[in-house]
Amino acid sequence: MVPKWFIGIIGVTAIGLGVTIGSAATSEALAKGTPTDVAVELGAEGLTPSRTALVAGQPYRFVVTNTDAATHSFILEPADASNTPLTMENKQAEADGIATGQTASVEWTFSEPGDYQMADDRAAKSEPGLVSQFVVVPADTPTLTVQLGDFSVTPGSTELQAGKPYLFEVTNTGAATHEFVVEPATAVDEPLTKVANGAKVEAEAEDIAPGQTKVVLWTFPTPGDYQMACHVPGHFEAGMKAMFKVVP
Ligand SMILES: [Cu+2]
C-alpha cells in the first residue's frame, strides 16, 4: 500500500522529470546535430513549408506530405533552377513518387548560404505553383528565440543592430493561435515592409499554432524604437507586445 503523499511526490517528480528530460534532450539533440524538421505540405495550392529561412551548416529534415490528388516529387535546388537537385557526395536532395496521402522525408545540410527553392519540377512546367523559394543564411547569423505565450511576447533580445540580418525563430508556447508582427513602437498592426525579388514582404508570421515555430528573417535599415506584437483580435490589448531598440 503506497501512502497518498508518496503518490503526490511521485506525481510532481514525474512532471519535473518530464520537463527536465525534454529540455536536456533538445540541447543534446542540437549538440549531436539531430535534424530540425521542416514540415512541407504539397497540396493543390502548391508547396507550403513551415520555415522559409534556414541556417547553413545545420541539418534539416524536410517532412513532405502530399495532400494533392496527384503523385508528386520533391526536390531542393538553387533558386530559379529547373530540375537540378542539390547533390552532396553521392546523395541527391530529392524524393520521388510521393503518392496522395503519403509522407516522404529528405535530410539535408546546406553547405552554402544563398537563395534556394523546393519544387516538384516534373510538374512545374504545367503547374508553376509547385515551387516555393527559401533562403539559407550564413551560420553566424544571429538568431533570436522569441516566445509567444497567452498573452505575452518574450523578445529574446531588446537591442539589435541596424543593417544586420536577424533570424527570428518564433515559437508559440501558448494554447491560443498567435501571430508575430514587427513594427514601429508607436504603430498598431503596421508591419515593416521591404521589397525582395520585386515582391512586397512584410515583417510578420501569421497563424502560428500552439507548439509551432515560424521564422522571419529581417534586417533593420533604420535605428529606432520597435515592437514585436500579436494582432489577433484582443491579444495586443491583453499585453502581447515587447519593445526593442535598433541601434546604429
Ligand atoms: Cu496572440
pLDDT, tens digit, 9 for 90 and up, residues 190-222? 999 998 778 898 999 999 999 998 999 999 999
C-alpha 245 to ligand 1 mean position (Å):
22
The model's pLDDT over 173-195, given as tens digits with 9 standing for 90+, comes to 999 999 999 999 999 999 999 98
C-alpha 148 to ligand 1 mean position (Å):
7
Asked whether residue 42 falls in the same domain as residue 122, the answer is yes
Q: How far is CA 148 from CA 157, 177, 197, 211, in A?
A: 14, 9, 30, 10
CB distance 67 to 41 below 8 Å: yes
C-alpha 84 to ligand 1 mean position (Å):
40
C-alpha 150 to ligand 1 mean position (Å):
7
One-character DSSP codes across 113-129: -EEEEEE-HHHHTT-TT
C-alpha 149 to ligand 1 mean position (Å):
7
Residue 44 has pLDDT above 50, yes or no: yes
Asked whether residue 190 falls in the same domain as residue 218, the answer is yes
C-alpha 183 to ligand 1 mean position (Å):
15
Cβ atoms < 10 Å from Cβ of 100 = 12
Asked whether residue 211 falls in the same domain as residue 152, the answer is yes
Domain boundary pick from 137, 172, 203: 137
pLDDT of amino acid 129: 66
Asked whether residue 79 falls in the same domain as residue 120, the answer is yes
C-alpha 230 to ligand 1 mean position (Å):
5
Does 29 or 43 have the greater pLDDT score?
43
Domain membership of residue 1 (yes or no) is: no
pTM, entire model: 0.73
User: Residue 90: which pLDDT band, with cuts at 50, 70 and 90?
Assistant: confident
Residues 6+ apart with CB under 8 A from 53: 134, 135, 136, 137, 167, 215, 216, 217
- Pairwise CA distance, residues 85 & 74, whole Å: 9
**What's the number of domains the chain is made of?**
2
Does 59 or 30 have the greater pLDDT score?
59
Neighbours of ion ligand 1 (CB under 5 A): 178, 230, 232, 235, 240
- Pairwise CA distance, residues 12 & 157, whole Å: 32
C-alpha 77 to ligand 1 mean position (Å):
35
Of 55, 65, 200, nearest to 138 by C-alpha is: 55
Domain membership of residue 114 (yes or no) is: yes
C-alpha 247 to ligand 1 mean position (Å):
27
45, HSE (Cβ side, Cα atoms, 13 Å)? 4
Cα dihedral value 242, 19, 167, 105, nearest 10: -140
Residue 66: all three cell numbers together: 502530399
pLDDT of amino acid 26: 42
Domain membership of residue 24 (yes or no) is: no
Asked whether residue 104 falls in the same domain as residue 167, the answer is no
C-alpha 122 to ligand 1 mean position (Å):
40
- Pairwise CA distance, residues 218 & 203, whole Å: 7
The mean per-residue pLDDT over the stretch 218-247 comes to 97
Domain membership of residue 238 (yes or no) is: yes
The mean per-residue pLDDT over the stretch 21-43 comes to 64
- Residue type present at position 158: T
Instruction: Kindly give the residue spans of alpha helices, DSSP state H, lying in the chain.
Output: 4-32, 121-124
Residue 169 main-chain phi, psi, to 5 deg: -100, 105
| pLDDT, averaged across the chain | 85
| Block residue for cell numbers 499585453 | 239
18, HSE (Cβ side, Cα atoms, 13 Å)? 6
Residue 240: all three cell numbers together: 502581447
Domain membership of residue 50 (yes or no) is: yes
Residue 188's domain is classified under what CATH number? 2.60.40.420
User: Residue 123: which pLDDT band, with cuts at 50, 70 and 90?
Assistant: low
The mean per-residue pLDDT over the stretch 152-158 comes to 94
Domain boundary pick from 115, 137, 159: 137
Domain boundary pick from 137, 170, 194: 137
Structural domain harbouring 78: 36-137
pLDDT of amino acid 128: 60
pLDDT of amino acid 194: 92
Of 32, 129, 117, nearest to 82 by C-alpha is: 117
pLDDT of amino acid 161: 97
C-alpha 111 to ligand 1 mean position (Å):
36
C-alpha 213 to ligand 1 mean position (Å):
14
Asked whether residue 190 falls in the same domain as residue 116, the answer is no
C-alpha 128 to ligand 1 mean position (Å):
34
